[in-house]
Amino acid sequence: MRAFIKRLLSLYPVRRPLSILALMAIDAVALLAGLLIAGYLVAGENRVSEIFYLAPVLLTVWLSLFAANGLYDRAPERRNPGALLAAILLGAGLFAFGSVIYPETQFVLGEILVAAALALLLDGGLRLLYEQGIEFIYRRGFGLITTVVVGDEESRRKVRRIIEQQPSAYSVVGELGMSGDRVDLGLLRRILDRTGARNVVLAGAERLPDEEFLSLLHSMRLRGVRVRVVPGTITLMSGRSILSQRVGMPLMEVGYPQLDNNQRLMKRVLDIAGAAGGLVVLSPLLLAVAVLIKLTSPGPVFFKQKRVGADETVFLCYKFRSMYQDAERRQAELEAENEADGAIFKIRKDPRVTPVGRFIRRWSIDELPQLINVLKGEMSLVGPRPLPLRDYERMDEHHKQRLSAVPGITGYWQISGRSDLSFEEMVRLDLYYIKNWSLSLDLKIILKTLKVVVTHEGAY
What is the pLDDT, as a whole number, of residue 344? 75
Q: Of 406, 403, 178, 316, nearest to 187 (Cα)?
A: 178
Q: Report which DSSP code applies to 108.
A: -
In the chain, the percentage of residues whose pLDDT exceeds 70 is 85
Backbone angles phi, psi at 149, to 5 degrees: -100, 130
pLDDT tens sequence across 139-151: 766 667 789 999 8
Residue spans of alpha helices (H) in 141-209:
153-165, 185-195
What is the pLDDT, as a whole number, of residue 9? 52
Instruction: Give the SS3 label for residue 301.
Output: coil
305 neighbors 388 (Cβ within 8 angstroms): yes
Q: Sorting pLDDT into bands at 50, 70 and 90, what band is 240? A: very low
Q: Sorting pLDDT into bands at 50, 70 and 90, what band is 245? A: very low
Considering the chain, what is the average pLDDT of its residues?
83
What is the pLDDT, as a whole number, of residue 27? 92
β-pair type (314-320, 302-308): antiparallel
What is the pLDDT, as a whole number, of residue 239? 46
Backbone angles phi, psi at 301, to 5 degrees: -70, -40
384 neighbors 430 (Cβ within 8 angstroms): yes
pLDDT surpassing 50 at residue 94? yes
Residue spans of alpha helices (H) in 108-184:
109-139, 153-165
Of residues 379 and 335, more confidence is placed in 379
pLDDT surpassing 70 at residue 352? yes
Mean pLDDT score, 361-390 = 93
Mean pLDDT score, 202-209 = 81
Helix (H) or strand (E) holding 2: helix 2-10
In the chain, the domains with their CATH numbers are 2-139 (no CATH), 145-255 (3.40.50.10700), 261-455 (no CATH)
What is the pLDDT, as a whole number, of residue 304? 93
pLDDT tens sequence across 97-115: 888 787 777 778 888 888 8
Q: What is the pTM of this model?
A: 0.66
pLDDT surpassing 70 at residue 256? no
The CA angle 307-419-274, to the nearest 5 degrees, is 60
Mean pLDDT score, 370-398 = 91
Q: Tell me the sheet residues that pair with 149.
A: 175, 201
Q: Sorting pLDDT into bands at 50, 70 and 90, what band is 237? A: very low
Q: Of 99, 194, 108, 208, nearest to 150 (Cα)?
A: 208
What is the pLDDT, as a whole number, of residue 308? 94
346 neighbors 459 (Cβ within 8 angstroms): no
Torsion sign, CA atoms 227, 230, 231, 236: positive
Q: Of 160, 154, 150, nearest to 182 (Cα)?
A: 150
Across the chain, which distance is largest between two alpha carbons, in Å?
Answer: 92
pLDDT tens sequence across 170-191: 888 999 988 777 888 889 999 9
pLDDT tens sequence across 29-45: 999 999 889 888 887 77
What is the pLDDT, as a whole number, of residue 406? 93
Give, to the nearest 10 degrees, the angle between helix 109-139 and helix 81-101: 150
Buried (b) or exposed (e) across 16-34, using 16+ Cβ within 10 A? eeebeeebbebbbebbbbb
Least confident of 108-117, 275-284, 363-372: 108-117
Rounded Cα distance, 310 and 343, in Å: 18
- State the Cα torsion 183-189-195-196 to the nearest 10°: 120
Mean pLDDT score, 367-379 = 94
Of residues 167 and 362, more confidence is placed in 362
221 neighbors 199 (Cβ within 8 angstroms): no
pLDDT surpassing 50 at residue 377? yes
- State the Cα torsion 262-263-269-271 to the nearest 10°: -150
Of residues 82 and 302, more confidence is placed in 302
The CA angle 429-434-439, to the nearest 5 degrees, is 110
pLDDT tens sequence across 5-29: 555 555 555 667 888 899 999 999 9
In the chain, the percentage of residues whose pLDDT exceeds 90 is 28
pLDDT surpassing 90 at residue 292? yes
What is the pLDDT, as a whole number, of residue 290? 95
